[in-house]
Amino acid sequence: MSLHDSVFLRPERDYRIDFFRGVALVMIFINHIPGVLWENFTSRNFGFSDSAEVFVFLAGVASAFAYGRLFLQGSPLIASLKAARRAGVLYLVHIALTMAVISLFIWFALALGKGDILRQIGLGPLLTQPLDALYGIATLGNQLGYLNILPLYAALLLMLPLMLLGIRWIGLKGFIVASVAVWLVVGLTRLNIPNYPNAGGWFFNPFSWQLIFALGLYTGFQKLRGQPALPYSPRLYVLALGFLAFSWAFVGFGWWSVERMIPLPSLFVGFDKTYMSIPRLLHLIALVYVFAHAPKMSPFSRVGAANPLTMLGRHSLPVFAVGTFLSLLAQALRFGNDTTLAYDTVLVTGGLAIQFALARYLDWWHVASKPQKAVRANAATRTEQPRDAQPAKAMAPAARRTP
């Protein structure tokens, strides 16, 4: 039976998706303030992959729920338009965020006399090639530093209808094989989207990162069918734990020269993030497997809706946008200054507090706005009643008085 003919279940909301998305958002915020002490405690210091891989994987899982079921068992056109609309929203948020960050750094340069700050995060072309740089920003080629995740996500959503069509034609397993083949060809040929007007290509190559997104889609569809992406096996679980421990030791002890001794392309033994090398990919898979099959007594298997990190992940786009701006504000505040642990702690905790407050407000507004929606719906229903129904109601009392 093909996936198209499968009966999808309506599983209870798995709050672990929002929880780990919230964890990824916290890690991304801290990592986007390079030089602070607290970046030494983020996930990238304990393995080959980091929060970006987790974020894209979970985006694939969520896309299976949001668009996949509708595409395969409902309306492909509507699902495709919904995905394209979401990609458009991401594009608008990215452009607004980029303009806000440029304005922020220009203000620091003019008001505080820190002209060198305009050489940071890839702002150089804006000074020397303003027209080319602005054109590149509009076409997503010129991506400023730390502002390249949303273009990747938008590109993946535009690719999503083609992915879902592939799932319909060749099934989930065939789709994963095709995704691996695309990743392999792109990694070996170094195919990428141009990063105009700069040299090179996108930092997050969509043709390589589509594999992580595809693995997330696979996991989401398996969950909709009531099946695990990879069944639990004690041996496989121990193997995954062993690989995570090895990667932790590798990064912790700085064994970065070992891979150069192996006569294989960097795609297989290196740690390239643009083309998603195998060590990074295997680390993500092992990480997901370990947490997906966490013991019942583990706190990671009993995450609820009220968990603060779950709340953060529930509103990932606005929280990510605000967190990215705050992280670059923190970069600007630290630029050219001798910072202390206390100062950096204030920046990190203050930025995180604002993000949690935003998520809490959005949770409140979601509940508070429901009565207003109900009132508007009732008003619309009354307005749509036939005109001849009103005289009938008005005549009813008179009819009762008639002997």
Three-state secondary structure along 198-217?
CCCECCCCHHHHHHHHHHHH
For residue 270, give the nearest of 57, 249, 248, 281 by alpha carbon.
281
- Is 292 in contact with 227 (CB distance < 8 Å)? no
Q: What is the CA radius of gyration of the chain?
A: 25
Helix or strand (DSSP H, E) at 146: none
pLDDT of residue 378: 61
The tens place of each residue's pLDDT in the chain, 403 residues long, gives: 456 555 565 656 778 899 999 999 999 999 999 989 999 999 889 999 999 999 999 999 999 999 998 998 878 999 999 999 999 999 999 999 999 999 999 999 998 888 889 888 889 888 889 999 999 999 999 999 999 999 999 999 999 999 999 999 999 999 999 999 999 999 999 999 999 998 889 999 999 999 999 999 999 999 998 888 999 999 999 999 999 999 999 998 888 878 778 888 889 998 999 999 999 999 999 999 999 998 888 877 778 888 999 999 999 999 999 999 999 999 999 998 888 899 999 999 999 999 999 999 999 998 888 776 655 656 555 555 554 444 444 444 444 443 3
pLDDT of residue 9: 56
pLDDT of residue 399: 40
Kindly write down the DSSP assignment for every residue of 157-194, as one continuous string.
HHHHHHHHHHHHHHHHHHHHHHHHHHHHHHHHHT---B
Q: From the DSSP assignment, how many helices (H) and strands (E) are in the chain?
A: 15, 0
- Using a 10 angstrom Cβ sphere, with 0-12 exposed, 13-18 middle and 19 or more buried, the burial of residue 200 is exposed
DSSP 8-state symbol, 304: -
- Using a 10 angstrom Cβ sphere, with 0-12 exposed, 13-18 middle and 19 or more buried, the burial of residue 187 is buried
pTM of the entire structure? 0.88
Measured between alpha carbons, how far is 59 from 391 in angstroms, rounded to an integer? 54
Percent helix, strand, coil in the chain, to 5, is 75, 0, 25
- Phi, psi for 141 (deg, rounded to 5): -80, -45
Measured between alpha carbons, how far is 210 from 182 in angstroms, rounded to an integer? 9
